[in-house]
Structures are given as C-alpha cells and as structure tokens.
Amino acid sequence: MYQESNELDMSMLVALAAKGDRAATDELIRQIRPMVVRYCRAKLGRSGSGSYTTAEDVTQEVCFAVTRALSRYQDKGKPFSAFVFKIASHKLADAGRSAARSRTQPYEQVPDRAASADSGPEARVLESAEVQRIRKLMAALPETHREVVVLRTLVGLSAEETGQALGMKAGAVRVTQHRAMNKLRQLYPATAEVTA
C-alpha cells in the first residue's frame, strides 16, 4: 500500500532533514502537512467564523515544532508519523487550553457572508449537518477509539503507524477500529435519543 512506500521515502527524508538538509526538511513538511491539517481540523473543527483558521494555525505550529524537533528525533524503529502526531496532540492540547480561556463568540456576524458564498445555504446546511452528526457521534466514543478512527480514517495512517503513535499493537488498532465502527453504527439510528 502506498502508505508503506511513503513511509520508506519519509524515513530517508527524515534522516537527511535531521542532518540539516534544507530541501529534505521542506519536502518532509510538505508530505506530512496534509495529514497534520486533517488531524487538527478533525480535532478542532471549524472556528467561530466557519473556517478552519484555528486548525490552520495549530497545523502551522505543529509543522514548526516538528522542524525544530528534527534534530532530537532518532530513528528507534518508531515511524516518524508517530513522532509527528505526538507533537501534534501536545499542540492541540495547548490550543484547547487557550481556546477555553477565549471568550470570543463571533457567531453573529456570519450568516450574511455565508449567504454570498459559492453555493447556496441549502448545500452548506446539508453537508455540514452530516459532518456535524458524525462529530457528535464521535464524541460519544471512548478516547482511544476516537483517536484510532481519526488517525486511521481521517489522517490516513496505517494500523502500524497508528499503533506506534498511540502505544498499541497494530492488531489492537484493528480490533479497536472495528469496535469503534460498530459502536458508531449502533449510535446512528439512536442519534435522536442521544441528542434529545
């Protein structure tokens, strides 16, 4: 699968980047950035203005932190992605703390601008509703299950990489993801009761 071959290239890049190769560092960040973006977006959701600005900011911080931490990274058989997502989860925790202190509620300004966006409000409502629903269901999962689903499905890590990032075995990741999926399926018809 492409994830493995990707990881192979990535380990070479990491080795070069750790020695201070500028181009390798750039390429490495370019490769991990989309995954970090999805991870941060999945965890943070949309910010008050309806865009992913907070998630983008955190992504930026994560990439920056990864670049700085490269020299500290030593290949001990752990995939680099595990290293990246450990950093990312720390950064997200920081962002969560600062967001908890923030009192901004910019909701009210939005609808006018939203109405002039590319597609009609109907489409936005529908699509976001679907995403919002799955988010809500995910919140009902245990922490580990949620993390596995996010890393596997949304970020696109392999079972092995996810296991390394979360300190589990790959087999355990597969079992956990199956349980999480089953749980989500059960929750689906029952959403009404859950939210009501």
Subset of residues 156 to 185 that bind other proteins, contact rule: CB under 8 A: 156-157, 159, 174-175, 177-185
Subset of residues 51 to 80 that bind other proteins, contact rule: CB under 8 A:
51-52
Burial of 163 (0-12, 13-18, 19+ CB in 10 A): buried
- What the block records as the tokens of 108 is 């009210």
**Pair 125, 111: CB distance under 8 Å:** no
Among 10, 14, 32, 37, binds other proteins (CB under 8 A): 37
Structural contact between residues 23 and 29, judged by C-beta atoms closer than 8 angstroms:
no
Q: Is residue 110 within the footprint of other proteins (CB under 8 A)?
A: yes
Rg of the chain over all Cα atoms, to the nearest angstrom: 19
| Closer Cβ to other proteins, 8 or 123, answer by number | 123
122 binds other proteins (CB under 8 A): yes
> CA-based diameter of the chain, in Å?
56
- Contact call for residue 34 and other proteins (CB under 8 A): yes
Q: Does 154 bind other proteins (CB under 8 A)?
A: yes
Distance spanning both ends of the chain, measured CA to CA: 42
- Minimum Å distance from CB 92 to other proteins? 14
Q: Which of 4, 135, 167, 169 binds other proteins (CB under 8 A)?
A: 135
Question: Binding other proteins by CB under 8 A: which of 6, 31, 60, 153?
Answer: 153
Q: Is position 119 an interface residue for other proteins (rule: CB under 8 A)?
A: yes
Could you say whether residue 146 binds other proteins (CB under 8 A)? Answer: no
Give the residue with the Cβ less far from other proteins, 2 or 77. Answer: 2
Which of 155, 165, 166, 168 is the binder for other proteins (CB under 8 A)? 155
Our separate counts of H helices and E strands in the chain read: 10, 0
Amino acid identity, position 152: R
Closest CA to 138 of 101, 180, 166: 180
